Structure 1
């Protein structure tokens, strides 16, 4: 099948090039080796890109439009090219708009099979690749006795054809001319593309408006700033300029300058990327627009992605980027562009080079060569069960699989932490050696080290180039599982300290402070029974000594994997989690908050708050350990366990007993919430527990319940559910667990929970009770049983928690913005109803809508219990995150909006006993949302916190005399 180029016999025992094959030096084969369509001609021509003067001729391959793959093979007849120290080098060029997604250099090993690497291609410039034949891809074959290369191949994979590929030459050889296994990137930025009105837009750029548009090159509206600009005028309220060009997220920046005329009704500027690893799904940033003057934006593609999520490798490549403008309804878009540039900078490496597991105990080593005097050296390592590390004979230190030290929450997240040491003065020009000794017993380890030299950053990682004491290649294994941020905290997930600017701590003592004077806002840790009380028509929480108070709290005071950047900063800025917690709690208290709460608040923060006289709410985790309730597809219901399962009941009692021993002694812990946003009928996201009846114990209870409801009359059930469709009839009540009828019909298991979708469907989602009259009998039975299930769950949880924690307040599930009355009634015996609701539905206005207010009011009306807003918050676009629910432009507007919400809630609802703001830090990685009072380096958003202080001052004045 393959058309192979044969090389003459040659020895390869020494170092250097064994053979080069260049265009023009010999006749190329008439056809390429292989394409799905059967091959296309290859021709010799001048290179399309003339940046490389040494390439006077190239081989040019052009596949057919239907081809998404191409392969070219070289047979090594008589060449004794050993895999050990062998290499395969080629130079190539792909156009900037190429749809090639992977390069696959490969080798067929004599007597063995073919193996290949998987490389991210570089586009728009000539690139030389030297692929080591003794790398990790061939490690298993070499352990199995494979020694010699029989043929080499260069493969290309694309998302669509045709493929255009230029090759400048091939070479094979032995030795280490380019230091195999050392990965590097230039320190100076490289321009991947620059487009303006003089050069014109590339062919792979497209313009999208919802209606028609005009495009022209013209003089700028503001004279003197630009010679020529692109001007776009769209008839609709949106415009997007898209560039179909591939770029890694790791180290690529987008720059563009734009002009919006005075009077423009643009709501947001939306740079976005299409993520190749997500099968074309997009991630979009929302920025506040600047009107009436030129604005330059510079954004890392990783910043558009959100936080540090790109480091996991699950989203590593942008297949296109976009600059969009969204206007108010019924408006039009007019925008001028100056220059648009795509830059690659040495912020990280692309493709990301991740270390591989060294799977041997004992002393393992790796030698490598540094050409020039190295600068900014560093090394990271983690290994199980423990390790010792040396570089150039100097012992650097010792560590273990989790080097979290006093950062207890880091360990609690199952987040193995690498130890890190500086290598300044340890590395040297010439030969260097790194050694790690891994203790026996489930041995595995990861190592990464780096330095700067000349004009490049370089990295070496644990891989197949490492050797054991016998000189044999170490057994290695790719990390394999998706490396989410809570997976492995080692390069490239964690930035090396040597490549970071100096860590600075904000001076929180300089932040304006406000200490409440009103007794209703003063609370302190106190032993005894906490409660609620109603006085003169208003509800309050009550201290053990009988003092009424209003809980004014904040949450997400934690180092969580949802915000890796802040976590990384905190660990570098503070010597211990206690020190960090003291600073965070001090800032919260300075702003006027009197308490802390879940979600995502660390025990260290709770303890720090208690030391400062603050109180807190926490979780028990009642659904942990399962078994989960499941639907007909076997999908588990998030949050709730099967309440009919005796094993779950036993585990809950054990957990509650342990919690009682821990928290009953803590006078700062005033209570618990049972669940967070369990998928109960009527909630804001349209999720439902209806139909989750097919776990073992719940299934038995469902059959019993149906027998009771239909008085053991199967015919009555069949007629109610299926009418005249006798083919659907059940042969017994038990057969419902076999046939598993679908009560939801075409209603999805999980409706789209995004803010835009929720806004479009807010009436349907917030009006869960209104749908009851339109449900069929089967759906109503499943819904009623779902209520029965939740009542049993809520009742058993409450009974158990009261038994073991009789002095603490027990709060309900934290409802997600709405609920049916039946689901609310299941929680009416709890001390308070927990309610998560965000004022995010009205553009440039931070207030609750009438429908949201009605749902909060319903929670109190149905249960008769006080309500706590356990999650609420406001966002602004200038936080520079995706922030899909942000409706405000600036932190100043955000601070004003914060005060509007506090005033609206307190004046409207005398039954609300507390508000818990979400939150202390942003959710940069998980949701791409900017809820925090501090940024990823702990710096407060001053305009926002000024609004918080003003709101707390108003609250203080309002409660005087209440």
Structure 2
């Protein structure tokens, strides 16, 4: 173990040395971001980089460990580890340097720390040209305090947490005031009782069908199920009655346990005993977190949403909420329950919904991250098993369709050639056997392969040894690897799609909800879908939708996630797109949705998410002010009035009868992880 003092000589451009205070280095970083040059890490063999960090800010602060490569001509980092810290809280940080091999996307955090995400490709030590520990760009200069940096092979125990209170008895941010903040249980109960009385008002627009479709545009005779239609170059979804349907609504319409409390219990004004006969039922263990690596602590979640509803309605809280929440969504002009909504709402509330496979098929041996061994019989059989879950709702007319999965972790690496990972992975997978067989058939002799690939194998059997970056060896090697990657994608998409179609022939396959199209090969197999889905965090989705079209996909495009957050209410982070205020959140929502509707391939956009995230972080550490509703089930009034205004002429915009909204929100820096 070695401790390295932070000094003036480590500062990146723009960072200002403010001195040393009680063993903590103080520095001011500019609005463009900044921090320390720690390139010396590439020469060290220790596994962990450990330090403490405090940000003197009114909001959470995201920090990156950025890795640059001598092989990257653009000068952009090829890998980054991003994490967040709460404002004005001394936070212990432990970075596992084995993450640089890109095996983990969302590692486990230390108590008190916000989310960690590892993005980029695998990095070899010898290619590293620079490593920087730096804050992200923000809207103001920020003072950071850092302890000495410790390099060690032993993971540290728990870091001490300061004795402060950060969460009030209702689960709200205790250190912030805003106009709609509630200050007592009585005030919250009165608000919820008033909302419950307004729950059965229906859609606010006379020209909407019972499904939320548009009575002014009949596209076909109703089939009794949702379907799709292309008319004059414009894609539409079609409701069960045959009317045009544009899908809008929030993801995660569920009052669930998602406030992570293990290790930070002391920061809350109120937290019930886990054996409490009433509130003890509102705890849950997330046994599958973290998704990769050993769990260092038990991910314990509590539901302040449920607790608050119980305080208002008693034992009947769930039935009241089940009636109230969908009713409020209809009242404000939303017609879809988005992904991950409460299963008990689906098909029982008179509101259309989307769903997803409870589990995407997998194999015991993966190729890279969560990409399975798709040519194996194991994958086919598991796909058939997973698809059985679709049978239960196969006759439900309220289901718009189903997603196969959400944001595959392997596709978070830009320009990933998945066939490269087949040859890099030392396991003798069925995919590797198929690849070697195809190369034997193509080249016949190892000499011919070596000539084409600029390689020096003695026999084809050598390909079963781990090989790195094969697609970069020669132009021909690149073509071969991309071609086999597309074959893998055909199996990856086609096998579960066919299994689901067999289990449920009447509902639409809504695709994979790609985080983004990280490589053109990703769209391979789109013909298996009825709708192509992406998650698109942007202020305007037009370019992302058009990119799908330009890649040759002739399908309606549904956006599965987008959001906007501000710092004037609730939690201390904006989420992936920041705006100046709650009013601006509403402006941004209307601008986004109407731009999606104006595109001839856009057929819907689902807002992420229904509720704010917990001020101390959900299961993975996200703590964003992104909800339509706060943690007390109270709608943000500025946001919801904009939602209602958006829906009033959404169909006219989609039909080309009106122009989309022009007024833009005031944008701010992203405070997210």
Asked if residue 806 in structure 1 is aligned to residue 505 in structure 2, the reply is: yes
**Which residue matches 1:283?**
84
In structure 1, distance between residues paired with 2:227 and 2:648: 26
**Which residue matches 1:667?**
397
In structure 1, distance between residues paired with 2:242 and 2:607: 26
Deviation digits for residues 752-799 of structure 1 (CA, Å, limit 9, x no counterpart): xxxxxxxxxxxxxxxxxxxxxx97433432222121011023222222
**Which residue matches 2:464?**
737
Alpha carbons 1:672, 1:809 under 8 Å: kept? yes
Asked if residue 696 in structure 1 is aligned to residue 412 in structure 2, the reply is: no
Query: What SS does the aligned partner of 2:435 have?
Result: helix
Query: For residues 803 and 893 of structure 1, do their structure 2 counterparts lie closer, same or farther at Cα, with a shift above 3 Å needed?
Result: same
Alpha carbons 1:847, 1:904 under 8 Å: kept? yes
Alpha carbons 2:248, 2:606 under 8 Å: kept? yes
Shift in Å, 1:594: 0.7
Alpha carbons 1:272, 1:285 under 8 Å: kept? no
TM alignment of 1:247-262, pairs within 5 A: none
In structure 2, distance between residues paired with 1:957 and 1:686: 38
Q: Taking structure 2 as the reference length, what is the TM-score of the superposition?
A: 0.61
The unaligned stretches of length 5 or more in structure 2 are 6-18, 36-49, 66-80, 95-107, 115-133, 144-160, 170-182, 214-221, 262-300, 658-673
Query: For residues 936 and 866 of structure 1, do their structure 2 counterparts lie closer, same or farther at Cα, with a shift above 3 Å needed?
Result: same
In structure 1, distance between residues paired with 2:501 and 2:113: 52
In structure 1, distance between residues paired with 2:238 and 2:529: 15
Query: Which of these residues, 593, 598, 607, is aligned with residue 334 of structure 2?
Result: 593
Q: Taking structure 1 as the reference length, what is the TM-score of the superposition?
A: 0.44
In structure 1, distance between residues paired with 2:336 and 2:643: 15
Alpha carbons 2:85, 2:91 under 8 Å: kept? no
**Which residue matches 1:831?**
530
Asked if residue 654 in structure 1 is aligned to residue 654 in structure 2, the reply is: no
Query: Which of these residues, 593, 605, 608, is aligned with residue 918 of structure 1?
Result: 608
Asked if residue 952 in structure 1 is aligned to residue 643 in structure 2, the reply is: no
The unaligned stretches of length 5 or more in structure 1 are 1-67, 69-157, 162-199, 211-233, 241-245, 257-267, 287-298, 306-311, 336-341, 349-375, 377-499, 631-635, 746-773, 840-845
In structure 2, distance between residues paired with 1:793 and 1:271: 38
Higher share of residues assigned strand: 1
In structure 2, distance between residues paired with 1:629 and 1:201: 48
Query: What SS does the aligned partner of 2:558 have?
Result: strand
TM alignment of 1:382-421, pairs within 5 A: none
Query: What SS does the aligned partner of 1:208 have?
Result: strand
**Which residue matches 2:251?**
555
Query: C-alpha root-mean-square deviation of aligned residues, in Å?
Result: 4.6
**Which residue matches 2:356?**
619
TM alignment of 1:196-275, pairs within 5 A: 202-204=21-23, 206-209=25-28
Query: Which of these residues, 416, 426, 441, is aligned with residue 708 of structure 1?
Result: 441
Shift in Å, 1:530: 3.3
In structure 2, distance between residues paired with 1:792 and 1:808: 21
**Which residue matches 1:605?**
345
Tell me: higher relative CO, structure 1 or 2? Use CA pairs within 8 A at least 6 residues apart.
2
Shift in Å, 1:898: 0.8
In structure 1, distance between residues paired with 2:136 and 2:64: 16
In structure 1, distance between residues paired with 2:64 and 2:517: 34
Equivalences, count: 485
Query: What SS does the aligned partner of 1:814 have?
Result: coil
Alpha carbons 1:513, 1:949 under 8 Å: kept? no
In structure 2, distance between residues paired with 1:675 and 1:905: 22
In structure 2, distance between residues paired with 1:961 and 1:779: 44
Alpha carbons 2:202, 2:327 under 8 Å: kept? no
Query: What SS does the aligned partner of 1:618 have?
Result: strand
In structure 2, distance between residues paired with 1:616 and 1:564: 28
TM alignment of 1:561-960, pairs within 5 A: 562-564=258-260, 568-572=303-307, 573-574=309-310, 575=315, 577-598=318-339, 600-606=340-346, 610-621=347-358, 623-630=360-367, 636-638=368-370, 640-660=371-391, 662-678=392-408, 689-693=418-422, 694=427, 696-710=429-443, 712-723=444-455, 726=456, 729-732=457-460, 734-743=461-470, 776-839=475-538, 846-848=539-541, 850=543, 852-858=544-550, 862-878=552-568, 879-883=570-574, 885-907=576-598, 909-923=599-613, 924-925=617-618, 926=620, 927-958=622-653
Mean CA deviation greater in 690-699 or 503-512: 503-512
Which structure has the larger Rg over C-alpha atoms?
Answer: 1
Shift in Å, 1:831: 0.9
